[in-house]
Structure 1
Amino acid sequence: MGSALAAGDGLDFSLTQKLTVIALCALTAFISHMALAVFNDGVRPFMLDFIQGRTTRNATTAVSFGLSAGFIFGLGAPMALTSGVLNPWLLFLPTDILGILAPKKWLAPLLGAGWGAVVVFGLGGANELAHELPVDFLTAMQQMSTPILFLFTVFPVLAVTKQFGRLRGGIVGVVELALVVLTMRLWPNMFAGALAMAVGVLMLIGFAVDKDLKQRRADKAAGVPHELPEGADDPMASLFSASAARLRRYLPLFMVLGAGICVLAQMKIFGGGEATSFLIAKGQYAEAAQVDFYRVFGFVPLIATTALASGAYGIAGFTLAYPIGYLMPNPFVALLAGAAVFAVEVLALSYIGKVLGRLPSVRDSSEHLRSAIGEALGLAILFGSLMAANQMGGGLGILVCGGLYLLNEATGRPIVRMAAAPTAVIVGGVILNLLYWLDLFTPVKS
């Protein structure tokens, strides 16, 4: 699976890297303040009311904080400390909140820059402190990498099964398993799930496009119209066109944003997803680019439609800047590529919305892909967290961390499920250290 994780060294940033993170956090906070883009997909639908003055800045901030806090502290920070690689939950969810919170335009970038400074200057110290503890829960949390990487591979199988039934899902599952085994045998230095995921996603898209084309042919034969009658008004057209026009007015700012995100990804200190963070930490940049590229198919329809409906884009756009950045040879090329990608995305928003309207099965596939990614990662993170708990404290570690996770479930999930297990490992690690200092626990030897 490549080299060991770089958690011990990955948070030691160069001055250029620190300044890039700080500047990008300042920019994303400013864009959030302007209600031009937010990272949290759950917050974006609320932005239209904010843009049109039907809700206050404080109320929108409360929504953003409520939907983001669990991911920041329960997923973003633990993943960064564990892998040694920064991630969007740690960087961009806080700048969503800070940007919306800031009452003045000039204050938003200052708050964002402040958060970036906290991350690049404070995270390394927290990392070193955690590794000095008798129960090193950060090293234990590296157990999460294998379940995340391999269980993430099955998300196309889940998506196909949900949308097209067990038979096609089983076929894709067999194909993926064969490709994983083949890759492990023939290309041992390559991430075993990369080829399998590529084929799985392509099969899903192929099934969806085939279904849409067959349905259009059948409707055409039956005389069912697919277009509005001439002169009829589409009730969503005016809203969508106004939102697209608003975003196009700020095209230069979006190009700067795209350039910054692509440069950050090129620096190899940032991963766009859970699996990607561990691949970047292992130095497997081509595989990381593949993984994040496949995720794009699950998020383009969501981001495009919510952006057109709300007038607020995604901070990372369609997330294409991530995989492109990983593959760029230097920051200067990445800067140009990121700016170009965001320019194309913003200018193509209206066209993408129209195309998605004509391909309902493809649009549904994205919903199933996102759901499948969440389910696969949810199980992987839970399983990996229990492995970490076992490494920290054996049966007692599993009891404490698993019990905290179940308590969160029983109390209505005050911490979102995806973040609950890593949070339980950190809290469990603190509890085990306290028990050690009280001479009630002996750490498990590695």
Structure 2
Amino acid sequence: MAFDINVLTVLVMAALGGICAYLANQNIAVFNDGTRPMYGPYLNGEIDRKTLFATSFALSFGLVIGFGLPTSIAGRIIIVHTIMLACDIIGALFKEDTKGMILSTAIGAAFGVLLMFGMQTVINLFALMPIDFLGSLSTVGGLIVILFCVFPALAVAYQTNALKGIIVLALTMLVKHVTFHFGKFTIKDVNIALNSDGTALLFGIVAMVFVAARTSKRTEGSAAAAFAVFEKNIDRIKKNLLILAISGGIVALATTLLLIAEGPASLTLTAEGRYGEAAIVALGRCLGFIPLVMTTAIISGVYSPAGTKAVHVPAILFINMGIMGMVGSFFVGALIMAIEVLLLGFIAKGLDRFPGMKELGDNTRTAMSKILDISLLVGGMMAANAIAPTIGYIWVVGLHFLNQNSKKPISSMAIGPIGAISMGIIVNILYVIKLFPK
């Protein structure tokens, strides 16, 4: 590994794992951009903790095993997804009461330390499974980030009519298409690649508020009420400014100590000692993720423990600068995170100028719930079919309709993830009894 194992690195990894699990448990911040929108329905009481955990597990566990650990081992530095996605799961596992907070924080800290010592061991253990289905689980959440930009168009349709919804949908698709094909450019040797999903989502939200402003009577004080559904979420994030700043500082410090890297490209460059190039790559990725992270934060009321990933950029440049570099990395990372959180309020004030209808919040939550339902169901079908092409689709669709007819149905959002995970278990059982080919 590129990092040294000593008292300092053990403490930093424990702090990183502990704070990430704590933030997820207390519904303050999660790293997975697909999981973050799920916290909105949870905080509104639309889904329970078990559903939240099942979804978080399905969306993140496959990425930890199939992407995070192998990439970390190959690059000799832990890619940030490995620890933060796992801590998303740990935090969601326990209730947000005092006992759950202590357990999740302690387990997250222990996981961070064990991860540093045992990455190869974990890979070897999962390799013992007769049929490896964990990589396929990442498919479950693959559609959420892609399809989530549809919810503003659906909210517009609920609020006005289908025609205006179709117009917003068409424009959202156009923005996504143009950004995907032409959103890569260079400014003063800095490569910038805009995230097409985040840009499309940002456009859709602005269009939704704009349409709401034009379809309601402008009255004194209506602007503040119109955007209350998002403004409340932003205020919730701002109340946790201090702990989020500390999280940003710890993430930056771990980067400076070569414990973590923000992405595969910067990981490789950092491992090779090409810190300037690694910082440039990290900056380009940061600029591309800003719309996605900030918009999902605004609509959910939950931020990311690494923010927009901007904290990694100066942290890379502080590598090999000794004690002063470590101290500087922590405080600069904390400052960047604080600025990001405060910028969310600036965005809210800008959008707050558009007065909307009082039912904007209800329509928005309904639209988000619909999109999450279909995204997770179809994602679960795709994952189950990848695991078992002969029976995967049948299993998830069957569970979906049987759940609807159950006396005590579970949340429809959980069917896709549960179906995919249970399908993986089933095929391993079938393999053991010689009824499923490897």
Change (3 A) 1:148 1:65: closer
Q: Give 1:71 deviation, angstroms.
A: 3.6
- Note if 1:22 corresponds to 2:20: no
Partner of 1:75: 59
Partner of 1:169: 165
Contact 2:184 2:194 in 1 (8 A): no
Q: Within 1, Cα distance between the matches of 2:365 and 2:57?
A: 22
Q: Which moved more, 1:375-384 or 1:403-412?
A: 403-412
Letter in 2 for 1:321: G
Change (3 A) 1:153 1:118: farther
Q: Give 1:300 deviation, angstroms.
A: 3.0
Q: Determine helix, strand or coil for the equivalent of 1:395.
A: coil
Deviations 1:28-56 (A, max 9, x none): 567799x895765677789xxxxxxxxxx
Q: Give 1:398 deviation, angstroms.
A: 3.0
Q: Within 2, Cα distance between the matches of 1:285 and 1:374?
A: 33
- Note if 1:390 corresponds to 2:385: yes
Contact 2:384 2:393 in 1 (8 A): yes
Letter in 2 for 1:138: L
Aligned mate of 1:296, from 294, 297, 303:
294
Q: Give 1:113 deviation, angstroms.
A: 1.2
Partner of 1:257: 247
Q: Give 1:379 deviation, angstroms.
A: 2.7
- Note if 1:151 corresponds to 2:137: no
Partner of 1:324: 310
Unaligned residue ranges in structure 1 (runs of 5+): 1-11, 47-62, 228-239, 271-282, 304-313
Letter in 2 for 1:438: I
Q: Give 1:210 deviation, angstroms.
A: 7.0
Deviations 1:186-230 (A, max 9, x none): 6799999944752553354255257548968x43xxxx5779xxx
Contact 2:13 2:112 in 1 (8 A): yes
Change (3 A) 1:43 1:408: closer
Change (3 A) 1:128 1:421: farther
Q: Within 2, Cα distance between the matches of 1:36 and 1:140?
A: 27
Q: Within 1, Cα distance between the matches of 2:382 and 2:293?
A: 26
Q: Determine helix, strand or coil for the equivalent of 2:169.
A: helix
Q: Within 2, Cα distance between the matches of 1:149 and 1:45?
A: 21
Contact 2:61 2:137 in 1 (8 A): no
Change (3 A) 1:418 1:268: farther
Q: Give 1:378 deviation, angstroms.
A: 3.8
Q: Determine helix, strand or coil for the equivalent of 1:293.
A: helix
Partner of 2:262: 268
- Note if 1:136 corresponds to 2:132: yes
Q: Within 2, Cα distance between the matches of 1:284 and 1:104?
A: 32
Contact 1:261 1:321 in 2 (8 A): no
Unaligned residue ranges in structure 2 (runs of 5+): 31-38, 69-80, 186-190, 224-231, 265-280, 319-327
Contact 2:60 2:138 in 1 (8 A): no
Q: Give 1:23 deviation, angstroms.
A: 1.3
TM-score, L = length of structure 1 = 0.59
- Note if 1:381 corresponds to 2:376: yes
Contact 1:154 1:197 in 2 (8 A): no
Q: Where do residues 167-316 of structure 1 align in structure 2 (5 Å cutoff)?
A: 167-182=163-178, 194-195=195-196, 197-199=198-200, 201-202=202-203, 204-206=205-207, 208-209=209-210, 211-212=212-213, 218-219=218-219, 253-261=243-251, 267-268=261-262, 286=284, 290=288, 293-300=291-298, 303=301, 316=303
Q: Within 1, Cα distance between the matches of 2:182 and 2:137?
A: 30
Q: Give 1:144 deviation, angstroms.
A: 4.9
Q: Within 1, Cα distance between the matches of 2:283 and 2:126?
A: 27
Q: Give 1:373 deviation, angstroms.
A: 5.0
Deviations 1:234-276 (A, max 9, x none): xxxxxx9xx99x959xx65552123235667982269xxxxxx
Aligned mate of 2:429, from 424, 428, 434:
434
Letter in 2 for 1:293: P
Q: Within 1, Cα distance between the matches of 2:179 and 2:104?
A: 48
Q: Which moved more, 1:425-434 or 1:355-364?
A: 355-364
Deviations 1:299-358 (A, max 9, x none): 43763xxxxxxxxxx5x47x7813434766727587445412443477789999988887
Change (3 A) 1:68 1:284: same
Q: Give 1:111 deviation, angstroms.
A: 4.4
